[in-house]
Amino acid sequence: MKKLALHWKILIGMALGVIFGIILSLVEGGDAFIGNYIKPFGTIFINLLKLIAVPLILASLIKGISDLKDISKLSQMGGRTIVTYLITTLTAVSIGLILVNVIKPGKSISTDTRLELVEAYSTDTKAKQEAAAKQQESGPLQALVDVVPSNIFLAASNNRNMLQVIFFALFFGIGMILLAEKKVKPVKKFFDSFNDIILKLIDLIMLAAPYGVFALLAALVVEAPSFELFQALALYAFTLLLGLAIMIVVYMLIVRIFTKKKISFFMKGIAPAQLLAFSTSSSAATLPVTMECVEENLGVDKEVASFVLPIGATINMDGTSVYQGVAAVFIAQAFGLDLSLSAQLGIVFTATLASIGTAAVPSAGIVMLVIVLAQAGIPEAGLALIFAIDRPLDMCRTIVNVTGDAAVSMIVGKSIGKLKD
């Protein structure tokens, strides 16, 4: 018998969690049973995701930056690739923030429900609000000062200082690039191996995802103050899917404008990779098929595809960027927190940098969301709200990630004359 794929196990865990939660909510003492013996497993799963965040940033980002060594030889291609990826990432985060501020899925929760929600899911909301108020009282350049750590070990020991960890990883990676390859080879080998180990740990953590989702959803059902929460989650999912759809349209338009290729040609050519991306939720697993589609179906030169696409799998996570913007503000809305313009601009900046270190593996985006939430002062307990429905949304996000990589490869190929007419 064929082994059941992980995404099906997670979907089954979601369904069973809802059913189990509904049944026990009708039984006397059922909610206490779930709170004492089921919910802790969901908490453990969330803690594992938070545990892996700092090592993932260091491993993925340092490896990603050091892998850009070839930019010195392919400066024209490399510069255009990085700039285009950063522009599409900023666009993705902005689209997510605009939609979530217009639709306001978290605002559909009433004040009473929100108060109960805050009490149920977060004990440090008040402390975070006070910290945010204190930060607003700081000088105009305090945010810039806070980016640079005075001690990397202290920064890495606190998830709220993720931006400092990102800064160190970028700084460290740049130092590696500026030195001769012979000198940094041992260090690069270490971080390549370190990155492989971290990705394997994420694989192991994701094996527990069906059980974690079961526990989270069962607890969510019995602790939900009202049906409003599920309505809010549905509106959140709609907001995110709308943002992802808009991002696909953006890719179609830029391919049409910059390469003069028909939209149908682009979508038909990348379709096999999109389908595999949806089923695996992994840009890395889809990379061989993406390269084949880009080279054979879209007419991009092999030299361009082999350079642009692997970099894209490291630093171009537009679907994840849309998700981080929508999810962060949704959680803030659900907890009754009003984010200022500067806080939301901070989300844009942090999400853009975090996407560089997002591993191209299933559900790594939610690990990166920890960075965005912590940096914006949003309760990390809100992860429990959205993770329950994260898997199917993650499958859709991966489609956007892969489509973005293909679109950028066509644009870069066209700009240097290596795209077939």
For 157-214, what is each residue's pLDDT tens digit?
765 566 677 778 878 887 888 888 889 889 989 988 988 888 788 778 778 878 887 8
Average pLDDT of every residue of the chain? 77
pLDDT number for residue 1: 41
For residue 102, is pLDDT > 60?
A: yes
Higher pLDDT, 362 or 342: 342
> Which residue type occupies 204?
L
Mapped onto helix, strand or coil, the DSSP state of residue 419 is strand
Contact 370, 159 (CB under 8 A): yes
Count of CA atoms in the C-beta half-sphere (13 A) of 20 = 20
Residue 24, classed as helix, strand or coil, is: helix
Q: What is the dihedral of CA 23, 25, 31, 35, to 10 degrees?
A: 60
Six-digit token pair at 239?
Answer: 């907001």
- What is the SS3 assignment for 380? helix
46 class by beta-carbon count within 10 Å (0-12 exposed, 13-18 middle, 19+ buried): buried
Quick check: 253 pLDDT over 90? yes
Contact by Cβ (8 Å): 237, 53: no
Which tops the pLDDT comparison, 221 or 229? 221
Confidence check: pLDDT of 321 > 70:
yes
Radius of gyration, CA atoms only, the chain: 21
For residue 39, is pLDDT > 80? yes
Retrieve residue 190's tokens. 């270490």
Q: Report residue 273 as tokens.
A: 């990779």
Q: Is the dihedral of CA 130, 131, 132, 138 positive or negative?
A: positive
**Cβ-Cβ contacts under 8 Å for 48 (sequence gap 6 or more):** 205, 208
Which pLDDT score, from 0 to 100, does residue 115 have?
62
| % of the chain residues with pLDDT over 70 | 73
Domain map (residue ranges) of the chain: 6-415
Least confident range from 271-280, 325-334, 370-379, 390-399: namely 370-379
* Amino acid type, 370: V
Most confident range (mean pLDDT) of 46-50, 199-203, 263-267, 330-334 is: 263-267
* More reliable by pLDDT, 3 or 127: 3
Residue 231: pLDDT band (50, 70, 90) is confident
Q: Strand, coil or helix: what is 300?
A: strand
Contact status, residue 109 vs residue 229, Cβ threshold 8 Å: yes
pLDDT tens, position by position, 42-77: 888 877 877 876 787 787 777 767 766 555 544 667
Which string of DSSP letters, residue by residue, matches 129-147?
HHHHHHHHTS-TTHHHHHH
Residue 128 has pLDDT above 70, yes or no: no
Encoded tokens for 411: 């644009």
What is the mean predicted confidence (pLDDT) over 339-367?
Answer: 64
pLDDT higher than threshold 90 for residue 242:
yes
pLDDT at 361 over 60: no
CB 387 within 8 A of CB 216: yes
The predicted model gives 132-139 an average pLDDT of 53
The CATH number of the structural domain formed by 6-415 is 1.10.3860
Q: 269 with 297: CB under 8 angstroms? A: yes
Compute the distance between CA of residue 397 and CA of residue 400 in angstroms, rounded to an integer. Answer: 5
C-alpha dihedral (378, 382, 383, 389), degrees to nearest 10? -130
